[in-house]
Structure 1
Amino acid sequence: MKSDGFAKLLEFLQKLEQQEINYTLAHHRDEAMMVTVAVPGERWEVEFFSDGSVELEKFISNGEISGENELSGLFSRFAEAESLVIAG
């Protein structure tokens, strides 16, 4: 990661720390580091690239809370998507 991109990442992490906002770091792409930020009702995925660019994707809750019975839907949807990839 070039110094510009790394400096942006460090500055962002320092701001999160100052505001006491929880985050996790991940490395999903060779050229980027991802910071996942979770705040009430939202999840932000912020990727800092080696060329200094930044990409952001926000996931905002509609406020609807589901029960345990919804967990099976997670696995059935994933299984359906996986079978389409294998069959395709």
Structure 2
Amino acid sequence: MEIRDFIQFLNKLEDRHIYYRLNKVREEAVMVEVAVPGQRWEIEFMEDGTVEIEKFISDREYYDGEEIETLFKDFSD
């Protein structure tokens, strides 16, 4: 994928009013984080031209504030 394609992709998101933000977590890639109802996508555009997409899809479950303790219990060092 060339830079022209990357810019066209961002323009298409904007034209369709799809929220995104740019991020960089790997030396060799630029990440586009896309948020749509019930899903979050991480789309990484690699320096070699490849694209990697990871989707996080909601199970439509909602939790109360007590679930915050689960976060700390299960994911703290």
Alignment TM-score, normalising by the size of structure 2: 0.91
Kept in 2, the 8 Å contact 1:8–1:52? The answer is: no
Distance 1:8 1:54 in 2: 11
Give 1:35's aligned amino acid: V
- The percent identity for this pair of structures is 48
CA RMSD of the aligned region, Å? 1.3
1:56 Cα shift?
Answer: 0.2
Task: Check if 1:53 corresponds to 2:27.
Answer: no
Richer in helix (by share): 1
Task: Check if 1:10 corresponds to 2:39.
Answer: no
The structure, 1 or 2, with the larger RCO (C-alpha pairs under 8 Å, 6+ apart) is: 1
Runs (4+) of structure 1 moved beyond 4 Å? none
Secondary structure of 1:29 counterpart: coil
Distance 2:69 2:7 in 1: 39
Gaps of 5+ in 2: none
Alignment TM-score, normalising by the size of structure 1: 0.81
1:15 Cα shift?
Answer: 0.7
Tell me how many residue pairs correspond in the alignment: 77
Bigger radius of gyration among the two: 1
Gaps of 5+ in 1: 83-88
